Amino acid sequence: MAHQIVIENIGHSLTGQSGETLLESLQRHGYKLRVGCRNGVCEICEVRLIEGEIVQSYPEKKLMLSNTINQTSEGVFACTCRPLSDVRVKIEGLECPGELLVKKLLCDITAIEKLNADVYRVRLQLPATASMSAEFYAGQYLDLILPSGKQASFSIGSAPDQGRNVELHIRHIPDSEMSNNIIHHLQNEKTVEIEIPKGDCYLQAHKISPDTRLIFAAASTGFAQVKSVVEHLLANQFSNPIYIYWGARVEDDIYLSNLPLQWASEHTNVHFERVVSESENSPNWAGRIGLLPSAILDDFSDFENVEIFASGSPAMVYALLEACEAKGFKEENMHSDVFAYAPRNK
């Protein structure tokens, strides 16, 4: 008979088949964990049984744990342990289906150029060897690691479809010692250490429903994340409607506006709007004036089949979410890294 396997520490559950070892069930569902001998001798695949009944072939063991107060967990080996009922387990270091391995790599710095008064475009090249190669999803970010050990996160501004080439958009803040150190390193060294990939706010073109409309809301250098995702969609001939909103204080902060304008001219499903909030400091500005949430609400009367990807400060992201919720938008349809590092206060 089939049984449920609840992985307590990550909140996932899966169905195991009668006679399967715990390892076989996990691997059949696409999970990966460290294994060695596969016969219980090396003890590498040890997991903690919290609740349920199991039989283990080596070392021979039969356990039945109930969900009671002060109940201690027991170590079992995934390769020789067979559940006899629904079980709850804790598995450290488990790699979930579709999850990419995070790696520390030394990358070549191939170019650094100024895009406006304070934003640099940095181009890196990932290592070519298979053992040191890295994968990422469109919308994820990486950490730059300086020789001092200090590190800073930046959205990846290129699509995974572009192979080993990675692009970053980095704003230089002269009053920040860390920012100065990052720019100095990138301008004067040939390589930089990175940790990649990171972030749960990403998109895969083949998983999007055919009737979904996508809205991308970017503030300032948040456009890097949007660029990665949109280029991934276009590389995969994505035909759903794509609406891009790029907001900034002044016109010069929209540092790559010709690129999304080109997307819109070449693809009928792409729409691009620039929004400036301080028009008094942009004397030649003839476009939309105001804040991103207002611009989006002016253009959308309903949010049926809409998913929003928001890249910006917590204040911007939550202001947009609340404004859209007032028109019936559901929070689960908004995606942003902000939700991970600055959870919403309810």
Q: What does the domain layout of the chain look like in residue ranges?
A: 3-90, 103-198, 205-341
Name the superfamily (CATH) of residues 3-90. Beta-grasp domain (3.10.20.30)
DSSP H/E element including 261: helix 258-266
Strand partners, 213: 306
Reply yes or no on whether the pLDDT at 316 is more than 70.
yes
- CA-to-CA distance for 246 and 243, rounded, in angstroms? 10
Report domain 103-198's class: mainly beta
What are 221-266's pLDDT values in tens digits?
Answer: 999 999 999 999 999 999 999 999 999 999 999 999 999 999 999 9
Measure Cα distances from 130 to 49, 109, 141, 165 in Å. 36, 20, 21, 15
The percent of residues above 90 in pLDDT, for the chain, comes to 81
Per-residue tokens: 211: 């009737």
Query: Nearest to residue 229, comparing CAs of 244, 209, 212?
Result: 244
Per-residue tokens: 189: 């060294």
Residue indicated by tokens 């998983």: 207
Contact 132, 104 (CB under 8 A): no
The percent of residues above 70 in pLDDT, for the chain, comes to 98
Strand partners, 309: 216, 335
Report domain 205-341's class: alpha beta
Contact 203, 137 (CB under 8 A): yes
**What is the pLDDT, as a whole number, of residue 314?**
94
